[in-house]
Amino acid sequence: MNNLTWLITGGFAKGHRTQVLGVTTALSAVALWAVGDMSLADLLGKLPIALGGLGLAALGAKVDDANKGAGAKSAKAK
């Protein structure tokens, strides 16, 4: 059961989940438009989401980066 949970939650992509999500979001929007399930107007409406996802992937943003902020400093001060 642990292997199934590991696979579903993306344990294989530990540290890169945000990048995978960003690329997947952009690719799914373009794929929906390419096969005709989305009009060009809908694609343009989803363009900020797709570009934001690609931006996260390009910047190498990671979920773990949130733990390295000011909250980590206050925890050490205690």
At 35 the pLDDT is 94
Determine the pLDDT at residue 7.
75
What integer pLDDT is reported at residue 23 of this predicted model? 82
SS (H, E, C) the chain: CHHHHHHHCCHHHCCCHHHHHHHHHHHHHHHHHHCCCCCHHHHHHHHHHHHHHHHHHHHCCCHHHHHHCHHHHHHHHC
Q: Is the pTM of this model over 0.95?
A: no
- The tens-digit pLDDT sequence of the chain (78 residues) is 677 877 777 777 777 777 777 788 888 888 998 999 889 898 899 888 888 878 877 887 665 655 565 555 555 555
